[in-house]
Structure 1
Amino acid sequence: MTLPPPPEQLVAVELEKLRGTMAEGFARVDGSLALLVQRGDQTDRQIADHDQRLDALERARWPLPSLAALVAVCGLVISLWQFANGS
């Protein structure tokens, strides 16, 4: 008949199992955090790209109101000129 292992050995085995479980858990958490960091970086790049595109659209749009005002003033001047010459 064999004797059961001493309690110190049982504690050491249980501690080793616990260490393995903890290491596995930390590895899983590390992987999840790395994925979140990667997604955050992708989001930052997308936001920067959208900011650049929006700035380009805003710069390209500024002449439109000025052009509309210029056409309106030209139309007014032509109307006044025609009114003055017609009278």
Structure 2
Amino acid sequence: MTTQPSPSDPAAVALELERIRRTIEVGFTRTDGALALLVQRHDQTDEALKEHSRRLDDHEARLDVLERGENERQVRDRTRLDVLERSRWPLPSVAALVGLCALLLSLYEFAQK
């Protein structure tokens, strides 16, 4: 059974004040540690957010280039397609010319009979 110190005993009062001070210091130390951990996590999250934002900007820039058709591959393919279109045979024109010749030949043979 513990006895309560009398309020008039200065040593007991000083001892109690020292215990309260120690308890408050421990509480402040724990609070400071928790705040330091929160600050560290915030900094890590902030760095990760900046990295993700930078990567997102890079992806958006690449998508813009693709949408505008300014990619090296797209320019090369477009140039190649233009060359192929210029050098292709004019098949519809040749087909129309052959059909016209066949019609004229048929009319000539019909007129000869």
- Is 1:41 matched up with 2:70? no
Q: Name the structure with the higher helix share.
A: 1
One-letter amino acid of the structure 2 residue matched with residue 46 of structure 1: A
Provide structure 2 residue ranges, at least 5 long, that are not aligned to the other structure: 70-77, 86-91, 97-113
Aligned to 1:18: 20
Q: Which deviations, in whole Å up to 9, do the C-alpha atoms of 1:44-84 show, x marking residues without a partner?
A: 101100011001001111122223xxx7xx8xxx7xxxxxx
Deviation at 1:9, TM superposition (A): 1.0
One-letter amino acid of the structure 1 residue matched with residue 56 of structure 2: L
Relative to the length of structure 1, the TM-score reads 0.69
Q: Provide the alpha-carbon RMSD of the alignment.
A: 2.9
Counterpart Cα distance in 1 of 2:65 and 2:14: 78
- Which structure's relative contact order is higher, taking Cα pairs within 8 Å and 6+ residues apart? 2
9, 12, 22: which one aligns with 2:11: 9
Provide the secondary structure at the position in 1 that maps to 2:31. helix
Percent identity for Structure 1 against Structure 2 = 43
Kindly report structure 1 stretches of 4+ aligned residues shifted beyond 6 Å: none
One-letter amino acid of the structure 2 residue matched with residue 36 of structure 1: L
Corresponding pairs, count: 76
Larger Rg, first or second structure (1 or 2): 2
